[in-house]
Amino acid sequence: MSPTATGSLPVRLAAMALLLAFVQVGVVSEIPVFGVNADLSPLLVAFVGLLCGSTIGAVYGFATGLLIDLLLLQTLGLSSLIFTLVGYSAGRLRELRDPQAALTPLLVGAAAAGGSLLGYSLMEFMLGVDAPVSFELLRQIVLVTVVDTIIAVPLWLAVRAWLQSALPEDPRRRRRRRRAYTTGGLSPLSRP
Site for another protein in 6-25 (CB under 8 A): 22-25
CB of 94 to another protein, least distance (A): 15
Cβ neighbours of residue 127 under 8 Å, at least 6 residues apart? 75
Identity of the residue numbered 72: L
Beta carbon of residue 96, minimum distance to another protein (angstroms, whole number): 14
User: How far is the C-alpha of 156 from the C-alpha of 150, rounded, in Å?
Assistant: 11
For residue 36, give Cα distances in angstroms to 32, 39, 100, 103: 5, 9, 31, 24
Comparison of 144 and 155: residue with beta carbon closer to another protein: 144
Contact flag: residue 139 with another protein (CB under 8 A): yes
Residue 34 interacts with another protein (CB under 8 A)?
no
Measured CA to CA, the distance from residue 142 to residue 145 in angstroms comes to: 5
Type of residue found at 129: V
- The verdict on 120 binding another protein (CB under 8 A) reads yes
Q: Which is nearer to another protein, 134 or 183 (CB)?
A: 134
Q: What is the nearest approach in angstroms of another protein to the Cβ of residue 90?
A: 13
Q: How far apart are CA 7 and CA 83, in angstroms?
A: 24
Sequence-distant (6+) residues with CB within 8 A of 142 are: 114
Residues 6 or more apart whose Cβ sits within 8 Å of residue 26: none
Q: Looking at 5, 78, 107, 153, which residue binds another protein (CB under 8 A)?
A: 78
Query: Exactly one of 7, 10, 77, 168 binds another protein (CB under 8 A); which one?
Result: 77
Task: Decide: 144 and 37 in contact? Cβ < 8 Å.
Answer: yes
Count Cβ atoms below 10 Å from residue 177 Cβ, excluding itself. 13
**Least distance to another protein from the beta carbon of 37, Å?**
5
Binding string, residues 35-74; x marks residues near another protein by CB under 8 A: xxxxxxx------------xx--xx-xx--x---xxxxxx
| The one among 96, 101, 102, 131 contacting another protein by CB under 8 A | 131
Binding site for another protein (CB under 8 A): 22-32, 35-41, 54-55, 58-59, 61-62, 65, 69-78, 80-81, 84-85, 88, 117, 120-121, 124, 127-141, 144
